[in-house]
Structures are given as structure tokens and as C-alpha cells.
Structure 1
Amino acid sequence: MEYYKSIRIFVGSKPLILPGSVVIIVNNQKEILLQQRPNGSWGLPGGLMDLGESYEEVACREVFEETGLIIQDLKLLGVFSGKDYYCKIENGDEFYSVTAVFLTKSVSGDLRLNQESKELKYFSPLRLPENIKHEYKGFITPYIEEIVS
């Protein structure tokens, strides 16, 4: 059972602090890989931390699970947290995310979909899809600032 699910047994839907990682995977054209979720929204591959994992381990595990890609040489772009990262989901569960955002250009393997992904596609960071979640736009901003400067 995933760690946060085991905690929910005790706290119900009360707010939790949930650490996790997402990864900006960049190809040779400086495009970034986005994942379309089953609900149609786009975001970065990544997920929540399990007990004993580092942020880097979360990033590598989640990217492999969600895309089939093996990533290396992670560069930390930032850690995003605070009141702007509060969420209440459809079932009433509340949480504040603490998200480490990594960048990598070191990728191997072949893209493959899983049950969490409707589509995987590379986009120009200056032409992101309209239905990308707000927090992901914020996560991508440091990369855009890096390539524009």
C-alpha cells in the first residue's frame, strides 16, 4: 500500500503534507515531455514519495512507471511548497504538496503508456497545451527562464 494511503486510514480526509517529485525531460529540440492523464489534463511525469525514498529515487521510479523511460543526471530546479500547493480532490481528501522539480536530458528506453497516461508527447515549453494544470506551469517556469536567458 502506498504510504499516503496508509496514513489516510488514520486521518481520513484531513490535510496531509505529501512530498513528491516531477521531472522535466528534455529532448534534443529542447522540448519537454508531458503526460496526458485520463481526465484529459496535461502534466509532468512524477508522483509521491514512499517510505525510505529520496526525491531523486521518487523521480526515477515514477518516470519509469509512467513512461517506460530510464532517467539519469538529474538537476534540481527547485522545491515548490506552501499555501499555493494546497489541493482538495473530488473524494474530499486534502493535502499540501511539497514537490521537487528535476530536469534531465539523459534518457534511455522507449516511451510506453500505462493506466495513468492517456498520451505522452513532447511540447515546446513556449507552446504548452491549454489544459495543463496551473502548478505544472509554475514547475516549468525555471526551465523556460534557463533556455530564454
Structure 2
Amino acid sequence: MEPKWLTWAKQIQAISQAGLAYSKDIYDLERFEMLRTLSVDILQHYTEVDAERIRTLFAAETGYATPKVDVRGVVFRQDQILLVQERLDGAWALPGGWADIGLSPKEVVVKEVLEESGLCVEPVRLLGILDKKFHDHPPSPWHVYKIFILCEVVGGQMASGMETLRVAFFGKNELPALSVERNTRDQVERMFELRNHPHEVTFD
């Protein structure tokens, strides 16, 4: 579960973002800008990240605030699962990333798996939709939904990409150090279980 201060900061940011987008009263706009500044101050206090960076990444969006969507491909070879080693932190993750405007979840997962692992896949079925705040991820300024899609390899060759260092398959009991910003051990282990239950989907 994410800390309360982070939940409150994100809620204040969402309120201020919507208010700045839809309010016409100049005094209300001033108050919503104050709320936005307060949300940035909270994050800076607890994370010690530079305020300008927080404002750029966290408090620069406009319009109605909605969750971000992270799409992950779940690919098996016999009893092993495909993981990629991330360049950013050197840890391992299911291939995937932020959903792109204009692409469906299926299209996103095909693109991400190819870019990060070199494998061409076909999406088979949805395994789960999880809310990041309920899982053991590090604190994040965004509210994130994580979509896990089971895929089958239909071509390509394993190769690292611009964002990955290595590509490999791992058994359930031999998982490497995971990039917990992207996926937790519990989530990856859950994918092994869901693979064998074709009528079951996990969701928060």
C-alpha cells in the first residue's frame, strides 16, 4: 500500500489540474494553482527531489487527471517466463511500458515485446489489471493501472533493445533481481499461476 502522504499529494494534484482546466473564475484559478504548488511541496518534502523536476513530471499535465496505463507482456517458454534487463536500473522486468496514444493494449504489447526482446508475439488473453498503489512498488507520483497480457511467440530472435541490456527466460524459482518499479516478485509469480487457469483474471 502506498503511503498516505503520496495518496493525498496525488489527489490534491488531480483536483488542482481539473480546476485549472475547467474553472473560469480568476480567484478559483489562483486557489487551484496554490493547491498544485502544495502537492509539489509535499512530494519534494518526502522525496527530496528537486521541485522543478516534480513540477515538470508530476504537475505539468492539463485537463482532467486520469491514471496512466502500463502494459506488460507475459511470454512463456515451457515453464519459464520472459524477462528483460532494464538499462535504467540493471534489474529485470516483464517487457512492456507506457501505453501509447492511438494504440490498443494488444498493439502496445506487441510493439513493446518486439522492441525490448526482439521477439514477435501474438496476444492471447488478458491475465490481469492491477492498481499499482496496492502492491509493493516504490512510491510513484502517478496513479498507474498495470495491464498484463499473455502472449505467444510467433517469430523473431531474442535480442536486447534500446532500453534493455539482456533478454532471458527464467523459471519461477530462479527469478533474478526484479525492477520493482515495473513489477514485483508477487506479480511475476502470479503470472505463472494464471497461465494455467484460462478462465481466471486478476484485478484490483
Task: Give the TM bin, normalised by the shorter chain.
Answer: 0.7 to 0.9
Equivalent residue letter for 1:14? F
Larger fraction in helix:
2
In the alignment, the residues of structure 2 paired with residue 59 and residue 36 of structure 1 have an alpha-carbon distance, to the nearest angstrom, of 17
For residues 89-128 of structure 1, the C-alpha deviation after alignment (integer angstroms, 9 at most, x for no partner) is 6xxxx21221110112333110111121111011002221
Whole-angstrom CA distance in 2 between matches of 1:117 and 1:13: 23
Q: Contact 1:49–1:58 (CA<8 Å) still a contact in 2?
A: yes
Give the match's secondary structure for 1:114.
coil
2:114 is aligned, of 64, 67, 70, to 64
Residue 185 of structure 2 aligns to which amino acid in structure 1?
K
Which range moved further: 40-49 or 12-21?
12-21
**TM (normalized to structure 1)?**
0.76
Larger relative contact order (CA 8 Å, sep ≥ 6): 1
Instruction: Give the structure with the higher percent strand.
Output: 1
Partner of 2:82: 33
Query: What residue number does 2:170 align with?
Result: 123
3-state SS of paired residue (2:82): strand
Q: Is the 1:73–1:106 contact (alpha carbons within 8 Å) kept by the matching residues of 2?
A: no
Residue segments in structure 1 that go unaligned for 5+ positions in a row = 1-10
Bigger CA radius of gyration: 2
TM-score scaled by length of structure 2: 0.57
**Equivalence for 1:139:** 187
Change (3 A) 1:143 1:56: same
Contact 2:159 2:166 in 1 (8 A): no
Give me the whole-angstrom Cα distance separating, in 1, the residues matched to 2:154 and 2:187.
Answer: 20
Structure 1 CA distance, aligned partners of 2:195 and 2:148?
A: 16
Distance 1:76 1:147, change over 3 A: closer
The answer to whether residue 56 in structure 2 is matched with residue 12 in structure 1 is: yes
1:15-62 alpha-carbon deviations (Å, 9 max, x no partner): 7721121011111x3201110112211101001111121111110111
Cα distance, 1:64 vs structure 2 = 1.0
Q: Could you tell me which residue of structure 1 aligns to residue 158 of structure 2? A: 111
Distance 1:145 1:103 in 2: 12
Matched letter for residue 71 of structure 2: S
Determine whether 1:21 maps to 2:66: no
Cα root mean square deviation, aligned? 2.6
CA distance in 2, matches of 1:21, 1:147: 17
Query: What percentage of residue pairs aligned between the two structures are identical?
Result: 26
